[in-house]
A and B are shown apart, each in its own frame.
Chain A
């Protein structure tokens, strides 16, 4: 029998991996978006685990809405990425520093 704490620890590990990926990545913004996806999947695993163990379907419904929002976020993010590549000629994280405050 797999307990709830094992699911939660697994999703916290995945969450931290996604966080490290965002912090250390300098190559391109596409990997940043993928790390955000990884973090969202970790959080969704939390929702699904609690939904199963508490016997409430509301958690799964919330996961469905998170997936919808994440899909639209990816579509717009990749569109912005294409625009950035057209104007800068690169999608490296280092070239996005033109907005100096």
Chain B
């Protein structure tokens, strides 16, 4: 067993274990942290597949932004402890059996006879001066430039939609009234007060 295989099996083991711990943990904050571990394992496997840019994006964007957003929401919402008791209804054994059947079937389909080393040989590693980011950027800004801009528009729509959904009206909002600003007079803004200094001749 080669070094690459050992690394692959270590990260796969942690990927599967942390995913299982994520769906079976009772505490939602712990589930988020297990999902972070699963994402780190996935990013390591992607680096093994020479997709460095996507692995870094997965860690920076997913772990750094999306999972922190999950944690913020969990901490903001006061999750009722009594609902935790109500999980895992009688569906659990049936679903586990169904999932195991799906895994076995997919493993039979995706097994070494169809996707093994003799069918898909391992490609040669790229040289040292190969840049994954350069190759992807060349594709993004030439062939896929319209989908790239559409993705930017989609993110803008997501920002607007999220703000519109959770925004509450007219509390502590500082809004501008143009007509009041135009109609303002000098006496509204500046008030002349005369200050009388105390007379020193009283001594």
Contact = CB atoms under 8 A, between A and B. Distances in A.
Contacts of A38: 19, 22-23, 35, 38
| Interface class of chain A by DSSP | helix
| Interface class of chain B by DSSP | helix
B49 A52 contact: yes
B49 A48 contact: yes
B162 A79 contact: yes
Given A3-B122, A28-B79, A67-B57, A21 B28 contact: no
A27 B52 CA distance: 36
B88 A10 contact: no
A53 B51 contact: no
Contact of A75 (B46, B69, B83): B69
B166 to A, nearest CB: 5
B157 A27 contact: no
A90 B80 contact: yes
A97 interface: no
A96 interface: no
Contact of A4 (B12, B38, B115): B115
User: What interface size band does chain B fall in?
Assistant: 35 or more
Interface stretch (B60-68, B171-179, B186-194, B195-203): B60-68
B12 A21 contact: no
A6 B119 CA distance: 13
A9 B114 CA distance: 12
User: What interface size band does chain A fall in?
Assistant: 35 or more
A41 B107 contact: no
Given A23-B95, A75-B162, A76-B161, 9 more contacts: A1-B2, A5-B111, A17-B16, A20-B96, A30-B74, A63-B51, A79-B162, A82-B77, A91-B79
User: What are the 10 A-B residue pairs with the smallest beta carbon separation, nearest first?
Assistant: A72-B158, A21-B23, A5-B115, A12-B106, A8-B110, A79-B165, A92-B83, A52-B49, A79-B162, A26-B87
Interface of B: 2, 4-5, 8, 12, 15-16, 19-20, 22-23, 26, 28, 31-32, 35, 38-39, 42, 45-46, 48-51, 53-54, 57-58, 61-62, 65-66, 69-70, 73-74, 76-77, 79-80, 83-84, 86-89, 91-92, 95-96, 99-100, 102-103, 106-107, 110-112, 114-117, 119-120, 122-123, 132, 135-136, 139-140, 144, 147, 151, 154-155, 157-159, 161-162, 165-166
29 contacts: A2-B48, A3-B120, A17-B20, A17-B99, A18-B19, A19-B102, A21-B22, A21-B23, A24-B87, A24-B91, A28-B79, A34-B22, A38-B22, A41-B58, A45-B45, A57-B135, A61-B136, A61-B139, A69-B151, A69-B154, A70-B66, A72-B154, A73-B158, A76-B165, A78-B69, A79-B165, A82-B165, A91-B79, A92-B83
